[in-house]
Amino acid sequence: MKAGSELKKSDERLGNLQLLRFFAALLVIIFHTVGNAHKNGISTPRLDMIGDIGRSGVDIFFVISGFVMVQSQAIRVSSPIFFISRRIIRIFPLYCFLTIIYYILASVFPSQFPNLELSIKWLIASLTFSSGILGLGEPLIWLGWTLEFEFLFYLVFSLALFSRSTIRTGLLTVISFIAIVPIFGLNPIVFEFCFGIVAAIIFQRISINAFFCKIISIFGAMALIGSVTLESNSWNRPLIWGIPSFLLVLSSSQLKQTKNAVILKLGNSSFSAYLIQIFTIPILFKVDKRLNFHFFQGDALVVVMAIITILSGLLMYEVAEKRVTKYLNRRILSFS
């Protein structure tokens, strides 16, 4: 192992993390598509073999998020206000837009959303990432439960920025979560952000030999696959999915980075793909039911729908997310 001073300072793009982002989004999308297939009486025998592993995409996202926050501060030190503003710009506009669209559709076509009891309070709580804190359960777009944890992480991390040191900021964030999880009964899944912080600190300080990185990566992948035999709950989830995700992020960050333009684009659009599935998956099953497709059945149908969702996310990213984020960042940077 080499000292961190011999590492390239990482303004280099970590393309491997973009590949992991895409993989994480794909896992979640396939998992949700399989669930909808079962609700529609469609069997998916091959995909059923992987069980709940698709849910682990969220865990990979959380570890990557912890890594990226530390890494972004190492590249460019930001004030707490500037940092939190950038993060809000990253997740809020698209989430806000889709939440409002979802609310409007559910109001206009209530028969299509039979299990929703709409209220302005719920809408506001959803838009302010506070549904869980207020005891309202999941947000209006239920996928947003992950964003509520994400936003909590941003808040804690931004407060820790007053330490004026990337390493101290990361460690203070870890200590804060260790303290608040038992005190407030917080879901232990937030520890996965801490795993990402640790991976980033290791990346900053230590260069791991490529051979060992590959061993770590294989071990992480095998642990993730092996978890198919385990039953997850809120307390063991950081162990059975969080630790393998940590190993994958750590090894991926240290290996030679991919510069493949397609992979980078798919990674960039993973957030859009993650959110757009709330619309694409139900719509695609309604279309399938109406047109009674015979070209694809079962597992193949799920794969096709997942691909369409990924492509829809890519379109959403190019048309809306990228442009809005770039515009708002430019406005904020002009005041920095």
Write down the pLDDT at residue 7.
Answer: 33
Taking CA atoms, 12 is separated from 64, 168, 207, 253, in Å, by 16, 23, 15, 11
Query: With 80 as the cut, is the pLDDT of residue 5 above it?
Result: no
Query: With 80 as the cut, is the pLDDT of residue 79 above it?
Result: yes
Reduce the secondary structure of the chain to three states and give it as a string.
CEEHHHCCCCCCCCHHHHHHHHHHHHHHHHHHHHHHHHHCCCCCHHHHCCHHHHHHHHHHHHHHHHHHHHHHHHHCCCCHHHHHHHHHHHHHHHHHHHHHHHHHHHHHCHHHCCCCCCCHHHHHHHHCCCCCCCCCCCCCCHHHHHHHHHHHHHHHHHHHHHHCCHHHHHHHHHHHHHHHHHHHCCCHHHHHHHHHHHHHHHHHHEECCHHHHHHHHHHHHHHHHHHHHCCCCCCCHHHHHHHHHHHHHHHHHHCCCCCCHHHHHHHHCHHHHHHHHHHHHHHHHHHHHHHCCCCCCCHHHHHHHHHHHHHHHHHHHHHHHHHHHHHHHHHHHCCC
Query: With 70 as the cut, is the pLDDT of residue 4 above it?
Result: no
pLDDT tens digits, one per residue of 269-304? 999 999 999 999 999 999 988 887 666 789 999 999
User: Average of pLDDT values for 12-39?
Assistant: 94
Query: With 60 as the cut, is the pLDDT of residue 260 above it?
Result: yes
Query: With 70 as the cut, is the pLDDT of residue 87 above it?
Result: yes
Q: How confident is the model at residue 234 (pLDDT cuts 50, 70, 90)?
A: confident
User: Total structural domains in the chain?
Assistant: 1
| Tokens representing residue 146 in the block | 């992950």
Taking CA atoms, 171 is separated from 157, 163, 168, in Å, by 10, 10, 5
Contact of 196 with 242, CB cutoff 8 Å: no
Per the structure, the complete domain to which residue 156 belongs is given by 2-333
Contact of 180 with 167, CB cutoff 8 Å: no
Write down the pLDDT at residue 166.
Answer: 86
**Rounded to the nearest 5°, which phi and psi values hold at 118?**
-70, 145
Distance CA 84, CA 331 (A): 15
pLDDT tens digits, one per residue of 98-153? 999 999 999 999 999 988 999 999 999 999 999 999 999 999 999 999 999 999 99
Write down the pLDDT at residue 1.
Answer: 38
Distance CA 78, CA 88 (A): 14
User: Average of pLDDT values for 241-252?
Assistant: 98
pLDDT tens digits, one per residue of 261-271? 999 999 999 99
User: Average of pLDDT values for 291-320?
Assistant: 91
In the block, which residue shows the tokens 């493949």? 260
Distance CA 274, CA 141 (A): 11
Higher-confidence position of 19 and 115: 19
Q: Among 73-82, 234-243, 246-255, whose mean pLDDT is lowest?
A: 73-82
Distance CA 233, CA 181 (A): 15
- Per-residue burial over 82-113, b if 16 or more Cβ lie within 10 Å, else e, is bbbbbbebbbbbbbeebbeebbeebeeeeeeb
What's the chain's average pLDDT?
Answer: 92
Distance CA 272, CA 282 (A): 16
Answer yes or no: pTM beyond 0.85. Answer: yes
CB atoms within 10 A of CB 269: 26
